[in-house]
Structure 1
Amino acid sequence: MLAERFRQVAFPNRGLGISLTDERPAGNARAVLFRFPDGVQDFVAALDAETGAALHPDVIGFEREDPRMAGTMVVAFLWSGSREERMRSFANSRATPQGGTHVDGFRDGVAAAVTAYARERGLLAAADPGADRIGEGLTAVVSVKLDRPEFLGATQGLLGNTDVRGCVGQAVREHLGNWFEEQPERATEVVDRIVRGIWA
């Protein structure tokens, strides 16, 4: 339990090192250092490794400060060949298993970027792809650090800051849109799979 908790703290805090030493049995201590130079991008790669080969091995990631939400965001994601969505989210290094406005914003941004690209390239014939299809094969980590976080729910595992949704959504839409423009072949493959709902 301690190892998993330290791992989750180290991932969203790029460069932070946390050491855990097990001194049992006496004279045979074992030490583990949790340090991830690329932070959440390393986290996404580790999560994806649990599912098999990625559709695109390059992790898409960015960090941005936004005064409108009085904080910063760090986002990383990739599409794998599986149908499963793997999402992890954090607010001020605290896991938010129920998600919240940062996760909603991330999904909004991905949906907007995918829909815009699909329409521009003539890949979208009728209705927008549903939210369930947007998440297929997506492995993502969304972490925000806020001056005034608002946690909701009995376990406080849900982020409620309303400004965060729009800020994260805009940043994800812009960054993913740029990635689509820079990687047209990969973008077309990803978007076509989402629109058609065809996954390995």
Structure 2
Amino acid sequence: MSKETNRYDATHIEVLEGVEAIRKRPGMWVGSTSERGLRQLVFEVVGRAVNEVLAGRADSVDVALTPDGGVRVADDGPGVPVEAAGDTGGPSLETLLTRLHAGAEPGGRHAVAVSPFGSGVGLGVANALSSRLTAEVRREGVRWVQEYACGVAVTPPTAAGPATGSGTTIAFRPDVDIFETVECSFAVLAERFRELAFLNRGLDISLTDERSPGESRSERFQFPGGARDFVAFLERGAGTPVHPDVIGFEREDTHMAGTVEVALRWCDSPTERVRSFANGRPTPEGGTHVTGFRDGVAAAVNTYAREQQLLTAADPDLGADRIGEGLTAVVSVKLDRPEFLGATMGRLGNTAVRACLAEAVREHLGRWLEGHPEQAVAVIGRIVQGARRG
């Protein structure tokens, strides 16, 4: 091979920036070009709208799967600032739609991670990977519209007449030349939006499927009971509750720089169902919040069982496997600085969280057991009998 063939210099380096870089390597930004990557696009757009609600600037989010194969996401907030109107408060519409990470979910407990996988990359990526995108802003009595194609503005933000109400609507069509499919699963999106509504009791989010004429279906998710409602939902078909109350509490703890919400109930079932979340993101691999939850439940149950002589001096402490039989629980923490372990971010690693969760669960469950002696005996009696049989 000649020296000329082997020569490598600056002319061989390909520099890609902005929209070009995203469209050239879409998997780097949304994980894949399969349906999972397609859902990531939806989550990026929905995430901005959801955080408007959680910040108290909007009341609801409406998501629609449209007949043209696109997705429409609307909120009733104040509307994104439009530079053409002289708005300077926060990132403008064009900044959100063209800059990487601009307006992506901020850190800390006050913004929810809508996507269950990967970190938010912002509307700019969703725009770049869509063949068409239309942004409509209803702000201060004026309706503004801007069109994009493959992430590039086709028109400037244009005043299109008076606005009714306020808010922002983003309608986009994922690019068929990039994605293997542009058909989003209604069921998968509905499952995630339902989770978000359970975990954020102030959230009101709807999902409508308009793709089949005459067969439109819609679901609205709003759960004032939060994690308690989540437990009741997870228990469906799990057997008869051992006690009528869903035990639950919320607490802020400065030691872990965050808040915790826990709900639990035992049913007449051998199966344990524990779902855990950190800043709205599912943690299927558990982590310090789940370990702390189990520590706290075990401490409360064993302390009460010995105080009430439901365990003899010769009996060993009840183990987590026995205590977990028939237990349905939701453990959700929202932290200022969450530390996820692994590339999939499926496990929480914040060290202080374990002790904080254990103490909070021990105290609250312990008080509940003491205040509900008949239900406590039903719960612990069942666990003790199972342990002795085992």
TM over 0.5: yes
Q: Is the 8 A contact 2:341 2:349 kept in 1?
A: yes
Aligned to 2:275: 88
Cα offset, 1:54, TM superposition: 1.1
TM-score (norm 1): 0.95
- What is the identity, as a one-letter code, of the residue corresponding to 1:36? F
**1:119-158 equivalent positions in 2, closer than 5 A:** 119-125=306-312, 126-158=315-347
Determine which structure has greater relative contact order: mean sequence separation of CA pairs < 8 Å that are 6+ residues apart, divided by chain length.
1
The residue type equivalent to 2:340 in the other structure is F
Give the TM-score, by structure 2 length.
0.50
> Match for 2:350 among 161, 176, 180?
161
**Partners of 2:257 and 2:316 in 1: CA distance:** 36
- Which residue identity is paired with 1:153? G
Structure 1 residue 5, shift from structure 2 partner = 1.1
Gaps of 5+ in 2: 1-187
Structure 1 stretches lacking a partner, 5+ long:
none
Residue equivalent to 2:365: 176
1:58 touches 1:78 (CA, 8 Å); kept in 2?
Answer: yes
Q: Give the equivalent residue in structure 2 for 1:100.
A: 287
**TM superposition shift of 1:7:** 1.1
Structure with the larger helix share: 1
SS at match of 1:73: strand
Q: 1-side partners of 2:325 and 2:214: how far apart?
A: 48
Offset at residue 109 of structure 1 (A): 0.5
State the structure with more CA Rg: 2
**Distance (Å, rounded) in 2 between the aligned partners of 1:149 and 1:99:** 13
Q: Is the 8 A contact 1:41 1:59 kept in 2?
A: yes
SS of 2:296 mapped into structure 1: helix
Aligned-pair CA distance for 1:27: 4.6
The equivalent position to 1:71 in structure 2, one of 231, 237, 258, is 258
- Identify the match of residue 109 of structure 1 among 296, 309, 313: 296
Find 1:40's aligned residue among 200, 224, 227.
227
Cα distance, 1:195 vs structure 2: 2.0
CA deviation after TM superposition for structure 1 residue 57, in Å: 2.4
Whichever residue aligns with residue 44 of structure 1, its letter is V
**Is 185-194 or 90-99 further displaced after alignment?**
185-194
Percent identity over the alignment? 67
CA contact (8 A) 1:15 1:38 kept: no
Give how far 1:134 is off: 1.2
In structure 1, give the amino acid aligned to 2:316: A
From 7, 20, 30, give the equivalent of 2:217.
30
Q: Give the structure 2 partner of residue 53 of structure 1.
A: 240
CA deviations on 1:66-112 (whole Å, 9 max, x unpaired) are 00000000000000010110010100000011111111111000000
Q: Tell me what 1:7 maps to.
A: 194
Aligned-CA RMSD value:
1.3
